[in-house]
């Protein structure tokens, strides 16, 4: 007997706004929407695929009345694939993200940011192919 990691739930005030933000960040699409809940992902899960192998989890934004009060104990790490880390940070700032200082100190290879509701995430080193020549 085993289980699969199928989704990551994020409590928030405005599921539509956060889903739109993360769709833009990750090139995901909305795959389910109910009152107070929006699920996004890179694929639409089927029971057969989930049973066959571990697939990428979806993100589910669930409306809750309380606000965020402390630093997240669980956060997303993202890696740019088309440009530099600095270029991605600039793009994310334009989408509504902010930079955060959570005590990481200077000279780190990653950048700590927060989504529009203050949930921290990290932008890691770029995975973009660089051409030498």
Confidence of residue 131 (pLDDT cuts 50, 70, 90): low
Cα 56 from Cα 75, distance rounded (Å): 16
Question: Is residue 88's pLDDT more than 80?
Answer: yes
- Percent of the chain having pLDDT more than 70? 97
Q: What is the DSSP letter of 92?
A: H
DSSP character string of 64-77: -SSPP-S--SS-EE
Residue 116 burial (CB count, 10 A): 17
Average pLDDT, the chain: 92
Mean pLDDT of 11-28: 97
Residue 25's alpha-carbon distances to 92, 105, 123, in angstroms, are: 7, 25, 11
Question: Is residue 132's pLDDT more than 60?
Answer: no
Cα 78 from Cα 11, distance rounded (Å): 19
Question: Is residue 31's pLDDT more than 60?
Answer: yes
Residues forming a β-bridge with 62: 11, 37
| pLDDT at residue number 1 | 64
Cα 94 from Cα 98, distance rounded (Å): 9
Of 19 and 53, which is predicted with more confidence?
19
- Dump pLDDT digits (tens) for 58-85: 999 999 999 888 888 899 999 999 999 9
Question: Is residue 127's pLDDT more than 70?
Answer: yes
Give ∠ CA 83-14-40 in degrees, rounded to 5: 50
SS3 18: helix
């Amino acid at each position: 007997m085993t289980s699969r990691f199928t989704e990551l739930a994020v409590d928030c005030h405005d599921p539509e706004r956060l889903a739109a933000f993360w769709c833009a960040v990750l090139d995901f699409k909305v795959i389910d929407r109910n009152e107070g809940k929006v699920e996004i992902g890179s694929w639409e899960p089927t029971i057969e695929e989930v049973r066959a192998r571990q697939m990428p989890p979806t993100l589910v934004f669930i409306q809750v009345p309380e606000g965020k009060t402390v630093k997240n104990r669980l956060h997303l790490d993202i890696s740019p694939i088309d440009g530099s880390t600095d270029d991605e940070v600039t793009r994310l700032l334009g989408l509504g993200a902010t930079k955060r200082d959570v005590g990481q100190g200077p000279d780190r290879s990653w950048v700590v940011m927060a989504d529009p509701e203050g949930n921290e995430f990290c932008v890691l080193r770029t995975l973009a192919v660089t051409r030498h020549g």
